[in-house]
């Protein structure tokens, strides 16, 4: 007689969840006795084997052996969560194994691009996002033209897919806005439209589109074109050493140069100084005066830097409004003194926008390489740490690494996970707590429902807040929580990632309309979700 095991497998998953919830989410438990952990693993090993969950059985056996070798009496919550993470992840994979079609994994870790889709047809948007992410790319989406344009500038995608027919603003108008800002950048732009006539195609190409794809879309041809466009983008980025906008060296050349400087240092023993510079309140310039004015400030700043330093010094644009200068044979004190004078000089430069005049300052962090044990990564990190100290101390100043040894308060980033599934809460908590973001004090909290989250102090604070929100929950669903958050006084603090069911098209449309910054469909790849979270968290200001 054939026994259907699904019922008993579901019961095992339920028991695992109940135990995890008891250990990790009950406030009265501070530590977990190792005997409980041993019994938990031993039970899973026996039951999983009986229920033909071979991978879960083998992993439990491996953890039992590791547990014996560690000889721990009591576990702290975070230590146990780390120890059991692979088991938690595998349980999630087993539980959702039949929810998704099997597919061939595409490894694009080193070559993956970020693709942005702007389309008010939610069915098409979901379809394109799904097929692109199934092929290994990361995709962000939006239906609102204004928000999508801002998202384009903030996220800096590697490729843009833009529908011609959009509400309030046509795809051609968005393309025109972007082209004014991005005329010196190479970012492939693909127009899609049901209006596939010659006149529309010519207009798109004349306005700067790199491709035009008519609807209905041939999937095989679409994917081949996307692969080709992203290959071209990658090859272009690899071959160009000068930043297109500012005409100083780019980040790639900095990474090559810093390696050479360290090689020379080990050979000659002559030290050099790294300075990391960042324009103060640059986002306010873009928000108040527009991205074109922001570009003008960046170009003038780069020009000012080149005019203010020695011919032997090298300027790089590291990214956004951040620059790096390498000063050969210069001491920490000399560079710090020079940069403070440069900050004062640059503050006298006046910019004019719509009859308004304003000035800009910058902050800098300085580190001198004098010891062979220092690596390029640690040297940059020390200079960057000094920059953040300068920012926290009032901006418009340069600070050396000696000053950065002082204690300073990190900027708080609240991170909240709202999901009724303890497996997902535990996995995401582990991922987020293991992330390292310099100068950010990340406060991670998990809630099993929206009511608990909204009633929490964390939800009311005016700190930057990254919210991971399940779309479907009992009592109060994610859309209600999202609506409440976006109507709150501190709404501007939130960056929201929605977790939603694959077929909930109306929920996705509503989430984007209410202000979600991105969405991920369940069940998800843990590794893919981790990459997406890291990218979004780094955008939180």
pLDDT tens-digit series, residues 107-158: 444 446 899 999 988 888 888 998 898 888 989 988 888 888 888 887 888 9
pLDDT at 97: 63
CA pair distance 30, 15, nearest whole angstrom: 21
Q: What is the mean pLDDT of residues 198-204?
A: 93
The yes-or-no verdict on residue 1 having pLDDT over 50 is no
pLDDT at 103: 40
Q: What is the pLDDT of residues 354-370, one digit of tens each?
A: 889 999 999 999 999 99
Structure tokens at 385: 């740490």
The yes-or-no verdict on residue 478 having pLDDT over 60 is yes
The yes-or-no verdict on residue 333 having pLDDT over 50 is yes
The yes-or-no verdict on residue 405 having pLDDT over 60 is no
pLDDT at 108: 42
pLDDT at 177: 85
Is the four-CA dihedral 485, 486, 491, 495 of positive or negative sign?
positive
CA pair distance 199, 414, nearest whole angstrom: 50
More confident residue, 535 or 399: 399
The yes-or-no verdict on residue 315 having pLDDT over 80 is yes
Residue 3 contacts residue 49 (beta carbons within 8 Å):
no
Q: Cα angle at 188 between 183 and 189, to 5 degrees?
A: 85
Q: What is the mean pLDDT of residues 322-344?
A: 95
The yes-or-no verdict on residue 535 having pLDDT over 90 is no
The yes-or-no verdict on residue 341 having pLDDT over 90 is yes
CA pair distance 281, 278, nearest whole angstrom: 9
Query: Lowest-pLDDT range, 339-343, 399-403, 427-431?
Result: 399-403
Burial class (CB in 10 A: 0-12, 13-18, 19+), 365: buried
Structure tokens at 246: 């500012």
pLDDT at 504: 67
Confidence band of 445 (pLDDT split at 50, 70, 90): very high
Partners of 416 in the β-ladder? 445, 467
The yes-or-no verdict on residue 222 having pLDDT over 50 is yes
Structure tokens at 515: 């202000």
pTM above 0.85, yes or no: no
Residue 527 contacts residue 136 (beta carbons within 8 Å):
no
Q: What is the share, in percent, of the chain residues with pLDDT greater than 90?
A: 44
pLDDT at 540: 59
pLDDT at 98: 53
The yes-or-no verdict on residue 424 having pLDDT over 70 is yes
CA-nearest of 392, 369, 129 to 262 is 369
User: Would strands 322-328 and 314-319 be described as parallel, antiparallel, or unpaired?
Assistant: antiparallel
pLDDT at 530: 77
- State the alpha helices, DSSP H only, in 84-141: 85-95, 122-134
The yes-or-no verdict on residue 337 having pLDDT over 90 is yes
pLDDT at 151: 83
More confident residue, 234 or 406: 234
Residue spans of beta strands (DSSP E) within 111-175: 114-118, 138-142, 159-163
Q: In what order do the strands lie in the sheet with 465-470?
A: 440-447, 411-418, 465-470, 494-501, 518-522
Q: Please state the separation of Cα 82 from the chain's center in Å.
A: 22
Burial class (CB in 10 A: 0-12, 13-18, 19+), 49: middle
Q: What is the pLDDT of residues 247-294, one digit of tens each?
A: 999 998 999 899 999 988 988 889 999 999 999 999 899 889 988 899
CA pair distance 229, 189, nearest whole angstrom: 9
CA pair distance 161, 170, nearest whole angstrom: 13
- Fold of domain 251-404: Alpha-Beta Plaits (3.30.70)
At the second CATH level, the architecture of 411-539 is: 3-Layer(aba) Sandwich (3.40)
Q: What is the mean pLDDT of residues 317-324?
A: 93
pLDDT at 29: 79
Residue spans of beta strands (DSSP E) within 329-474: 351-353, 356-358, 362-369, 398-400, 411-418, 440-447, 465-470
- State the alpha helices, DSSP H only, in 466-504: 478-486
DSSP-derived letter for residue 487 is T
Burial class (CB in 10 A: 0-12, 13-18, 19+), 347: middle
pLDDT at 408: 53
Residue 416 contacts residue 426 (beta carbons within 8 Å):
no
- Max mean pLDDT range (24-33, 48-57, 213-222): 213-222
Average pLDDT, the chain: 86
Q: What is the share, in percent, of the chain residues with pLDDT greater than 70?
A: 91
Residue spans of beta strands (DSSP E) within 182-308: 189-193, 211-214, 272-279
Q: Under 8 Å CB-to-CB from 41, ≥6 apart: which residues?
A: 60, 63, 64, 67, 87
At the second CATH level, the architecture of 114-239 is: 3-Layer(aba) Sandwich (3.40)
Residue 463 contacts residue 413 (beta carbons within 8 Å):
yes
Residue 499 contacts residue 450 (beta carbons within 8 Å):
no
pLDDT at 409: 58
Q: What is the mean pLDDT of residues 406-433?
A: 82
Q: What is the pLDDT of residues 146-192, one digit of tens each?
A: 888 888 887 888 999 999 988 888 999 999 888 876 656 788 999 99
């Amino acid at each position: 007689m054939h026994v259907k095991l699904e019922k008993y497998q579901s019961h095992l998953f339920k028991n695992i969840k109940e135990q995890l919830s008891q250990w990790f989410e009950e406030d009265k438990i501070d530590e977990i006795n190792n005997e409980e952990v041993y019994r938990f693993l031993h039970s899973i090993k026996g039951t999983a084997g009986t229920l033909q969950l071979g991978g879960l059985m083998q992993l439990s056996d491996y953890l039992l052996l590791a547990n014996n070798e560690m000889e721990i009496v009591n576990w702290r919550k975070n230590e146990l969560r780390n120890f059991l993470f692979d088991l938690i992840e595998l349980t999630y994979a087993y539980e959702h194994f039949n929810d998704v079609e099997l597919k061939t994994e595409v490894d694009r870790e080193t070559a993956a691009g970020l693709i942005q889709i702007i389309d008010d047809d939610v069915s098409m948007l979901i379809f394109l996002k799904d097929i692109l992410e199934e092929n290994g790319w990361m995709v962000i989406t939006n239906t609102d033209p204004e928000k999508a344009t801002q998202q384009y500038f903030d996220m800096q995608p590697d490729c843009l897919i833009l529908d011609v027919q959009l509400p309030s603003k046509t795809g051609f108008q968005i393309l025109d806005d972007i082209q004014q800002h991005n005329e010196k950048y190479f970012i492939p732009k693909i127009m899609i439209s049901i209006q596939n006539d010659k006149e529309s195609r010519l207009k798109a190409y004349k306005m700067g589109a790199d491709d035009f794809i008519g609807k209905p879309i041939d999937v095989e041809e679409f994917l081949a074109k996307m692969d080709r466009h992203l290959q071209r983008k990658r090859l272009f980025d690899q071959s160009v050493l000068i930043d297109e906008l500012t005409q100083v060296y780019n980040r790639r050349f900095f990474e090559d140069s810093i390696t050479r400087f360290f090689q020379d240092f080990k050979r000659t023993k002559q030290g050099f100084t790294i300075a990391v510079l960042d324009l103060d309140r640059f986002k306010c310039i873009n928000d108040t005066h527009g991205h074109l004015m922001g570009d003008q400030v960046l170009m003038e700043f780069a020009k000012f830097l080149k005019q203010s330093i020695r011919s032997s010094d090298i300027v790089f644009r590291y990214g956004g409004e951040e620059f790096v200068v390498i000063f050969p044979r210069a001491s920490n004190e000399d560079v710090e003194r020079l940069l403070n004078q440069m900050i004062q000089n640059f503050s006298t430069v006046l910019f004019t926008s719509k009859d308004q005049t304003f000035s800009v300052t910058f902050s800098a962090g300085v580190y001198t390489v004098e010891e062979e044990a220092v690596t390029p990564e640690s040297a940059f990190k020390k200079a960057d740490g000094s920059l953040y100290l300068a920012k926290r101390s009032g901006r418009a100043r340069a600070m050396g690494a000696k000053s950065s040894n002082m204690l300073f308060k990190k900027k708080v980033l609240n991170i909240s996970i709202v999901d009724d599934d303890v497996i997902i809460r535990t996995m995401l908590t582990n991922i987020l707590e293991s992330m390292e973001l310099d100068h950010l004090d990340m406060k991670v909290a998990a809630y099993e429902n929206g009511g608990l989250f909204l009633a929490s102090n964390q939800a009311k604070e005016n700190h930057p807040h990254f919210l991971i929100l399940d779309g479907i929950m009992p009592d109060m669903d994610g859309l209600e929580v999202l609506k409440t958050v976006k109507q709150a006084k501190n709404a501007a603090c939130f960056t929201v990632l929605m977790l939603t069911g694959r077929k909930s098209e109306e929920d996705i449309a509503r989430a984007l309309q209410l202000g979600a910054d991105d969405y991920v469909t369940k069940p998800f790849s843990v590794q893919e979700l981790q990459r997406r979270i890291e990218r979004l968290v780094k955008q939180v200001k």
